[in-house]
Amino acid sequence: MTEINEPLSSATQQPKLGRSKLQVLWRVEDQENILKWWKSFEHHRDWSAELRRCETPADVLLTKGFGALLQQLRGAWTRDSQLLSLAAAAGILAHIKVHQSGQGFAQVCGAVPKGAIGPLVSELRFAQLLKSRSVDEFFRRMIRTVGLLKNQADVLAVADGVLQWTHECLTQGEHPNPLKRIKIRWGIDYYNQTNSK
């Protein structure tokens, strides 16, 4: 069910996205724990199935798979203020079947396949994703977007983006530097990718 194209081989190795691209999951230990949890779906298909049936991040909070993720991460991630963001990420990650390491989420969305007229995710659909007004709306649209990518994405890039988006949404805590805000970063990455072809 889950496939990894380029797994992390050691605690000291950085993923291709590196610290400069990951805004929230910058600790290697957190990255490895999320990947380890995601890989565990191979042995716990019931967890991923249950997570995929969730309609909202609140539904995710009550699943065995989410409980396993909390045990895997511990620490700051288990604070009440982080739970809904982490639940949104877990629910969306359950829809990824193939881990495509190394390319940002928005870059993949904006990629124009050989022989295609437009990007994998249309400009309209991507704009709707960025304009999501609530965590629940963002959750549903992210799941649809991952489906458009044939359920292939960088697990860490998706998790990082979801965690940052939900944090900004729930706390209205946008970064003072506009270029560090997730909607701006994703927009720039998407359009740079679509315009590069």
25-82 pLDDT tens trace:
888 899 999 999 999 999 999 999 999 999 999 999 999 999 999 998 877 777 888 8
> Which amino acid type is present at position 56?
T
Integer Cα distance of 96 and 76 in angstroms: 25
More confident residue, 167 or 98: 98
Confidence of residue 174 (pLDDT cuts 50, 70, 90): low
CB 182 within 8 A of CB 164: yes
Collect all residues with Cβ–Cβ distance below 8 Å to 155 and sequence separation of at least 6.
34, 35, 38, 93, 96, 99
Integer Cα distance of 120 and 149 in angstroms: 7
CB 3 within 8 A of CB 97: yes
Which tokens go with 42?
């191979």
Across the chain, what does the average pLDDT equal? 86
pLDDT exceeds cutoff 50 at 182: yes
Q: Which CATH architecture has domain 22-195?
A: Orthogonal Bundle (1.10)
Which tokens go with 115?
């022989």
pLDDT exceeds cutoff 70 at 140: yes
Per-residue model confidence as pLDDT tens digits over 11-29:
333 334 443 477 788 888 9
